[in-house]
Amino acid sequence: MPRSNRPRHRRTAADDDGLDLDRVRRGLKRVESKRSGEWNVQPVTAAGARKPYVCPGCRGEVSVGVAHLVTWRADALLGDQAALADRRHWHEHCWRIAP
């Protein structure tokens, strides 16, 4: 029987380092302080932007395929689940200039 030249398992950087490459591509969640309070900020890559949203900063559309930020309150009074339900998608520039 002929031998197959295809590898049975392809090794990736994630196999070697224990890294979650999908998480690295998406970006890391961070907490930012604004005058309005503490906010969780999660970057979304262009590849991960699969739905259109309305930016609360400029009221313009965050189009499919456009990198942007998802934000929600880090200091919400009603808890993390309520804050996560109220998350918003912002253009990066709009978030930077928001109060």
- pTM (2 decimals)? 0.71
pLDDT given for residue 79 in this prediction: 84
Q: Is the pLDDT of residue 98 over 80?
A: yes
Q: Are 64 and 97 in contact (CB under 8 A)?
A: no
Q: Specify the residue for token string 């030249």.
A: 5
Specify the length of the chain in residues. 99
Tell me what percent of the residues of the chain surpass a pLDDT of 70.
73
Instruction: Report the pLDDT value the prediction gives residue 38, as an integer from 0 to 100.
Output: 95
Domain locations along the chain: 20-97
pLDDT in tens, 31-69: 999 999 999 999 999 999 999 999 999 999 999 999 999
Q: Residue 62: what residue type?
A: V
pLDDT at 80: 83
Reduced to 3 states (helix: H, G, I; strand: E, B; else coil), residue 24 is helix
Question: DSSP character for 9?
Answer: S
